[in-house]
Structure 1
Amino acid sequence: MRKTKIAFASILKPVDEPRMYEKMGLSLDQTNKYEINIIGFSTKNISKSAGIQWHPIYNSPRLSFKRLLAPWKCYRKILKVKPEVIILNTPELLIVIIAYKIIFGSKIIYDIRENYPENIRYTNTYPRLLRPFLASLVRGLEILSKPFIDHYFLAEKSYAAAMAFTRNKRTIIENKFKNPGLPLPKTRIAGHHFKMVYSGTIAENYGILEAIHFAEKLFEYRKDITLTIIGYCAKPKLLQEIKKLIADKPYIRLIGGEKPVPHTEVLKAIGDADVGLVPYRSNKSTDNCFPTKIYEYMAYRLPLILQNNPYWVDFCLSHGSCIPIDFLSFDPEKVLDKYSKTTFYRTGKSMDIYWETEEVKLLQAIENLVSDK
């Protein structure tokens, strides 16, 4: 039986990024109906998978000059692969992917991971004076491309209201947890240890400086606390600041930083921890988004200490998984006392944090798109 060729295309993500590879890629590959190709930037240790083809387009930092040429390199890879379905997750690729569709024909799915215009407008990635222009440019491009997009995947429920242009051809596929085969969570005794973890993207907006400050304050009261920071930092200046802050703090360690860390290593660090930190700063670009790390921490049954965003707190409290605080104003003694006296996860295992609920929607959406020729 001939397999339908599907290509995932990204500039911002490595080829083995969890949503493209571990979740969507492997879920589609296991059906034996599709030939999966993943285009993204290269990573040091690319996983091997018999049914998935890797197509790295560059191996430099994603904020480097080479990124300007990445859309053209991606287009050349797509010409070589000749996919029948393209799933892109970077707005910079919209023009070249639509050009391919017009010339050669293909189904296009735009996997919207973030509210890209709000990220541009409300974070400090770009110069302040350029942000409104760039944000409007990206949103305008997204809206104008609608006639060429066959379907949208939305990673957040809130995007349905924020992105009305996706109406009538969208599927919400949240970024829930899928275990790549690592050991099950260990049994934890509340109050026995306090090994904390901050995982994923290392950025000011995601609260990395607050996480370090939190560890500093707790260490004043409890000398056995540790903090592991594991992930990738795209901003060299911030990375140098972090290294300077933790240089004289042996209880805080950094894994990664300059380059992306394989997801399996991130999950191993989570599995070895006792507490997961979610210290996001309040920001319009993230307040209505659900951090993937919450699903990961909960899958490993880590107690969470998280910023008191009602959207996250309501969900986590319903699972008995968190202590909400304000990372800008907290009493370390009270936090430690509450941690030692709280029984977490009384309700047991809940399936609404796992990828399997989203996999069904993914497979059905792709099946419908492929059969509608």
Structure 2
Amino acid sequence: MKKTRILHVSTAHPPTDPRLINRVIPSLTADYDLIALLPAVPKTEGPANARTIWLPYSQRLPVRLLLAHPLVLYYALRLRPSLLHIYDPELLPVSRLIQWLLGIPVMYEVHENLYRKLDQKRRLQGNWLVQQFLRFDAMAQRHFHLIFTEHGYLDTYKNMRHPSVVVYNYPELAFLDTFRRPYMPNPVAPEFFYIGLISFERAFDTLVAALARLKNQVSSFTVHLFGRQTFSDDAMTQLPGFDAVHDNLRFYGYTRQADALPTAAHATAGLALLKPVGDYPESYPTKLFEYMALGLPVITANFPLYRAIVDKHRCGLCVDATDANQIAQALQYLIKHPDDARLMGERGRRAVELEYNWESEAQKLRAFYRTVLQPHRPNKV
């Protein structure tokens, strides 16, 4: 039986994005002829069981608009999918054009609540670009089916004319189980693990100050940091406490999960610290659930959304991410109480197995696809 063709497109997300390649796309390939248009990044592979077409990539939006977006239109007209699934707000204009030309539904997956960051975006990118986002996002609410990764978006997106769905970014256990090990923290030189964007908004500056305090009690420890650094080296070296702990920090840069996660094998805890900036207080950090899936206790921000999970399952410690003393005390507690830390990790793992796993979300996604495609005459291949 021929499958309905669907086209997934991202021009900004790297092709190593775990949600795309480990969750969403693999969950759909059994039922659909899925083709993915993704930015070409060296030394990366496309998602399994899906045909991948590589697009030119640049970190600069104008270059992507000039080089990649015409190709998106070209491939859409050539491939003639029955549904278009996009991941980036910059794709809204060309997706509306494709929808008009082909008469197909468009799914827009919202990964970031930019309405919570408009002031920040105006400072960084200018008022004109923000106004264009507002215009095209309103258009998307009128014409597209939206997929949200958090329920908090529903407080902002109140003018949608088509069905939408919340598909949480919970971890895919089959993938993470490859890297899960019995909880065996390094008793001589404790280790901590972080994967994600490294920024001051994500409390790197407070973490450095906390580590300087920790070093007064624990002389030897290592913090493994996987992710892109958003600040300059000069700004980092000027942080209070950095001189005292720079030898304790290991920076790996942006790294695929499959290459980063083995380093967590002997970690005392996973770090997920965020300041109350933008949509952070209303959005789950995916790494929180990934650490839980690996059986690691978590140290995370004390936002009510996060605390509801950590307190319910007793799987870690919540701290004020702007308070270096609280972070230092949490780090020291888990070092000194390995049995408590192990039990936290075990409870977190059970919680992911029962509640916070991708399989339940994949079922919601597939059901949403069936709903959206049902009224349309699909293009078969």
Q: Compute the TM-score of the two structures, normalised by the length of structure 1.
A: 0.86
Q: Distance in 1 between matches of 2:147 and 2:327?
A: 41
- 1:355 is displaced (CA, Å) by 0.4
Native 8 Å contact 1:305 1:322 kept in 2: yes
On the 8 A contact 2:179/2:262 being kept in 1, the answer is no
Is 1:215 the counterpart of 2:211? The answer is yes
Q: 2:285 aligns with which of 288, 291, 300?
A: 291
Q: Distance in 1 between matches of 2:138 and 2:157?
A: 9
In structure 2, which of residues 329, 335, 346 is the aligned counterpart of residue 334 of structure 1?
329
1:145 matches 2:140: yes
Q: SS at 2:12's partner residue? A: strand
Counterparts of 1:129 and 1:21, CA distance in 2: 29
Alpha carbons of 1:305 and 1:169: their partners in 2 closer, same or farther (altered >3 Å)? Answer: same
The partner residue of 1:188 within 171, 183, 192 is: 183
Residue 168 of structure 1 deviates from its aligned partner by 5.3
- The one-letter code of the counterpart of 1:26 is P
Residue deviations 1:233-262, cap 9 Å, x none?
4x4x53664478768722211112xxx422
CA contact (8 A) 2:171 2:357 kept: yes
Quote the RMSD (CA, aligned, Å): 2.7
Identify which range, 50-59 or 332-341, moves more after superposition. Answer: 332-341
SS for the counterpart of 1:47 is coil
Instruction: State the partner residue of 2:370.
Output: 367
Deviation, structure 1 residue 337: 4.7
Deviation at 1:217, TM superposition (A): 2.7
Q: Secondary structure at the match of 1:276?
A: strand
Counterparts in 2 of 1:172 and 1:239: CA distance versus 1, 3 Å: farther
Report the residue type matching 1:289 in the other structure: S
Are 1:251 and 2:248 an aligned pair? yes
Q: CA deviation at 1:264?
A: 1.3
* Residues matched between the structures, number: 361
Shift of 1:205: 2.0
- Aligned equivalents of 2:371, 2:79: Cα separation in 1: 22
Answer whether contact 1:22 1:178 (CA < 8 A) is retained: yes
Identity over aligned pairs, percent: 19
5+ residue gaps in structure 2? Answer: 377-381
Q: Write the distance in 1 (CA, Å) between the matches of 2:33 and 2:169.
A: 22
TM-score (norm 2): 0.85
Relative contact order (C-alpha < 8 Å, sep 6+): which is higher? Answer: 2
Residues 287-329 of structure 1 deviation map (CA, whole Å, 9 limit, x = unaligned): 1111111111111121111121121012112121121122322
Which range moves more in the overlay, 359-368 or 206-215? 206-215
Moved more, 168-177 or 208-217: 208-217
Kindly report which structure 2 residues correspond to 1:39-54, keeping only aligned pairs within 5 A, or say none: 39-47=37-45, 51-54=49-52
Instruction: Output the amino acid matched with 1:98.
Output: R
2:26 is equivalent to residue 21 of structure 1: no
CA contact (8 A) 1:11 1:67 kept: yes
> Residue in 1 aligned with 2:316?
322
Provide the C-alpha distance between the structure 2 equivalents of 1:230 and 1:56, rounded to a whole number of angstroms: 25
Structure 1 unpaired stretches of 5+ = none
Q: Please state how far the C-alpha of 1:159 moved relative to its aligned partner.
A: 0.9
* Aligned position for 2:202: 206
* Superposition deviation, residue 191 in structure 1: 8.3
Cα distance change of structure 1 residues 63 and 268 upon mapping to structure 2, 3 Å threshold: farther
Conserved 8 A contact 1:215-1:225: no
Segment drifting more, 214-223 vs 302-311: 214-223
Select the structure that is richer in helix.
2
